[in-house]
Amino acid sequence: MNSVKFSISLLFFWIKGTIEVDHRFVKTDLSNTILGFIPAGKDQQSIPLKNISGAMLSTSYNVKAIILGVLVAFMGFSMFADSIILGLIILVLGLSIAGGGIQTVLNIEKAGTPYLISVPFFEKSKMQEAVNHIQYALAEDTDKTDLNLFFDKKQDRKQHRNQGHHHQPQH
């Protein structure tokens, strides 16, 4: 079983999710949040590999969140004159909101319906790893039902065995 663990939130990076892939299922275990940081239960799915037609990655930009985050960050800068600590907190919050507007989205096509998992942009490599695991499992599953491939592999093994036991007569 292949497993990928990743952060769900940019600011609260300790809130994690997991995707597990084996020869029968893709299992997801995601922490739901309100406003990106208030824990609100779990979303767990077990998707049979037979119901998945593919998986792909994309990048999503929430322009409103990016603009709001930049505005809040500028507010934080302007507060530095009054209170450095409060200004720094508001600045970090603004940058987090802006950064949260850039998401990597894993799209798993299950029975014709997209199942989307959005993560912060810095988790892109982990989502690519999950896509690779899913695509490999799909390929293996397809290969199991391809009789031509089965007989080709069987023929290759037979030829390989015969070549190994072939002896040259000695003179």
pLDDT reading at 165 higher than 70: no
pLDDT in tens, 49-93: 999 999 999 999 999 999 999 999 999 989 988 899 999 999 998
Considering the chain, what percentage of its residues have pLDDT values greater than 70? 81
Residue 29 and residue 42 in contact, taking contact as beta carbons nearer than 8 Å: yes
Q: Tell me the CB-side half-sphere exposure of residue 23, using CA atoms within 13 A.
A: 5
Give me 50's structure tokens: 């037979």
Question: pLDDT value at position 59?
Answer: 93
47 closest CA partner among 66, 19, 74: 19
Residue 17 buriedness (CB in 10 A; 0-12 / 13-18 / 19+): buried
Model-wide pTM > 0.85: no
Distance CA 44, CA 37 (A): 18
Q: Share the mean pLDDT of the chain.
A: 85
Strand partners, 114: 109
DSSP single-letter state for residue 145: T
